[in-house]
Chains A and B, each alone.
Chain A
Amino acid sequence: MTTYTTIAEDTRPLHHPKTWVGKYVWSQDHKVIAIQYSLTAVGVGLVALVLSGLMRLQLAFPGAIPFITPEAYYQFVTMHGMIMVIYLLTALLLGGFGNYMIPLMIGARDMVFPFVNMLSYWVYLLSVIVLLASFFVPGGPTGAGWTLYPPQAITDGTPGAGWGIITMLASLAIFIVAFTMGGLNYATTVLQARTKGMTLMRMPCTVWGIFVATILGLLAFPALFVAAIMMMLDNTIGTSFFMPSIISMGEPLSHSGGSPILFQHLFWFFGHPEVYIVALPAFGIVSDIISTHSRKNIFGYRMMVWAIIIIGVLSFIVWAHHMYVSGMNPYFGYFFATSTLIIAVPTAIKVYNWVLTLWQGDIHLRVPLLFAIGFIFTFIHGGLTGLFLGNVSVDVPLSDTYFVVGHFHMVMGVSPILVIFGAIYHWYPKITGRMWNNVLGQLHFWITFIGVYIIYLPMHYLGLLGVPRRYYEMGETDFVPASVQWANEIITIAALTVGAAQIIFFYNLISSYFRGEKADPNPWGATSLEWQTPDTPPTHGNWGPTLPTVHRWAYDYSVPGAAQDFIPQNVPQGEPGADGDKM
């Protein structure tokens, strides 16, 4: 073996803080930053969860709650969507899991630019504060819908057309700066800081998913950034990038000649890759959970990695399928419908491979695996309805109905959230050193899983009946049968139940942190490096005096003839008992 010197052998501290504040507040440790990111994201996500409960109450019992006016309803819709997609899912999957897992899984001591990493969190926190401040500005938060389409987003009559939209755009721009700083770290760390022997194709699927999602984010968020800045200028200094000649409240506005469609293109050039920024980390994590808990190597590892890359590339050429009803050239529809359906191929490969990994595996139905299998169900359902909406002629009548709401909540709301739950249960013993309560975990899974089906499955039928989305109340609509109201009430009851059931989850995490059983350093018998740290939870610098050396891929489960049913990545080939007839 060649000799090499790394920071591993350099036992001087990297940037070890001495004070409590330096350790837990202004920390440059990727693990602390990950926790900070996660707690902030979950905190703001709970705000969005409450907003969705309020919307559901209005839909089931129209007018029952006095403060939910039509304006307030639109503000809830907007803030719920924006918070969930960007400030919760993106931040939690990349800022949270990305930060925690990348250095541990590739055998690094930290991110390559720790200071920039710390800055990323604080700028993200600023964006969240600006976002939440919009609840308190005159006129309240923007009610333009999470897509913020101009001209209505910045025209009088839309809730929050004054300060609301300004704070929203400012918050988005700040978030993108934060994400770019984080993203530079994640991508550079994966490319440059892998430990010895960790070739690209030995990285666990989790790292691949997060890595490709980061690249997507770095290339897609600039579109939202440009769009936000241009809309801000339209709104504040009177440019006309997106604003056409328009008569508002009987008065012609000073704008002329701008293109609202241009905004839609910019928004969805970001917005579609955003779906995969959320989905790809979930794909990666779910692969690792399934493989670990069914004690089998992931089926078709190379195909899984290539599928992640191909999905990432394709996600940049499908954006206009969100714009079929915007009045674009019909020939564009052909192109975007075709590219949309092509993306189903690598996605389906992944689904088959997850199922084939479970096939004849030594399945341990622990809570993380339950959530992973739940994800396969919800993702297939959401994916199949995506095929409907991907076709122009089917999309046109279904567009702007509850079918769309059911579809995207299944595919990019529920599915990634189930994976996040699974991932938290999976890595909790490593992160805290304690084990959660199994009964509460099972209860949390079943209520959540069955509950989301009661919430979202009926929405597809409502959509087929023609129930429009975004409506404050149905009003006089003869084409909708009375049973729609019953369905809405059932959905609301289920939604409030699922929302309340999350208390079980939080109670489980918090009480286990203080009173849980001490966890084994590697309770699942997993192979990847994060389970092989000398300390649990891993300390600053992760690896003690020397970095681990990687000798094998991340999926050596149930190797015939091996002493155990897993061989960690840092066990050398040919070590006595490590490999059986494989040699």
Chain B
Amino acid sequence: MSVLQKLTEKSWLPAGADMGADLGMTAERRPAIAATGVWIYIGVATVIFSLVVAAYILRLGNYGADPAKSAELAAGLPWWNLAALCGIPPAEDWRPLSEPPLLWANTAILILSSLAWRKARAETRRGQARELRAALVAGGVLAFAFLAGQLVVWRVLAGEGHFAGAGPATAFFYLITAVHGLHLAGGMAFWGRIATRAFKGAPPNELATSIKLCAVYWHYLLLVWTVMFGLMLIT
């Protein structure tokens, strides 16, 4: 039944209890319930990250300041810069951040972590408990490595004198990495639960739903990071 059909049902007309056949909270429907929760949360997180991007682009643009100086700034930008692409001159105090090379390494680590979750998901289908545990360990350790790497980047930037007060691009870098990192750290709590169950000998098929949803969440955070990193690279 499509959403439209559901919302146009003439519920006051007589009909049997089978109509719509929405089943109660049965044990078999636990996976669907958990999936709904995760997808709703992904919606919430998407709003958070979208608003940060909106604020970033608003802050990047120069509205109402000296047009001559803005034009001068815009002329000096490479063609792939977001401000040049969109035709908005950057704000006068916008000093592009020179992204440390370590960020590329961190990005690669996060991709590997996501791949490990993919592998774990495949192993639940195959029913290989040992390989599953290995993939889970890899996914968790790599995610830890990513978070540690982000902290190192913070230290490096702060050491170069780029702390939060050093300009809007730097301030947004800290904000974005912090919010993204916190989301990943929240995911680690679920990783901890799943890994504990796996090492206590839970059969792979019992873990399938949790691992699938965790993998979805990890891929989502990878996507968010890619967008955020890309945005910071082109500004």
Contact = CB atoms under 8 A, between A and B. Distances in A.
Nearest to A224: B51
B25 A6 contact: yes
A226 B6 contact: no
A241 B176 CA distance: 13
Interface in B79-132: 91-93
Contacts of A256: 93
B11 A301 contact: yes
30 contacts: A5-B27, A7-B24, A113-B37, A180-B44, A183-B40, A184-B40, A187-B36, A188-B36, A196-B23, A197-B17, A198-B20, A199-B6, A200-B22, A201-B11, A218-B44, A222-B48, A223-B51, A226-B55, A233-B164, A233-B171, A233-B174, A239-B165, A239-B174, A241-B55, A241-B171, A302-B8, A551-B16, A552-B14, A573-B16, A582-B14
Nearest to B29: A192
Interface string A346-366: 000000000000000000000
A305 B7 contact: yes
Interface of B: 6-12, 14-27, 29, 32-33, 36-37, 40-41, 43-44, 47-48, 51-52, 55, 58-59, 91-93, 163-165, 168, 171, 174-175, 179
A553 B12 contact: yes
Interface of A: 1-2, 4-8, 10, 107-109, 112-113, 180, 183-184, 187-188, 191-202, 218-219, 222-223, 225-226, 229-230, 233, 237-241, 254, 256-259, 262, 265-266, 269, 297, 301-302, 305-306, 309, 547, 549-553, 555-556, 572-574, 579, 582-583
A496 B93 CA distance: 52
A237 to B, nearest CB: 5
Do most interface residues of chain A lie in helix, strand or loop, or is the interface mixed? loop
Contacts of B164: 233, 237-239
Contacts, number: 175
Contacts of A196: 17, 21-24
B189 to A, nearest CB: 12
Given A7-B27, A108-B25, A193-B24, A184 B41 contact: yes
Nearest to A116: B37
B7 A306 contact: yes
A112 B26 contact: no
Contacts of B175: 229-230, 233, 239, 241
Contacts of A583: 14
Contacts of B37: 112-113, 184, 188
Looking at A192, A309, A573, A574, the one whose CB has the most chain B CB atoms below 10 A away is: A192
A572 to B, nearest CB: 7
A71 B93 CA distance: 35
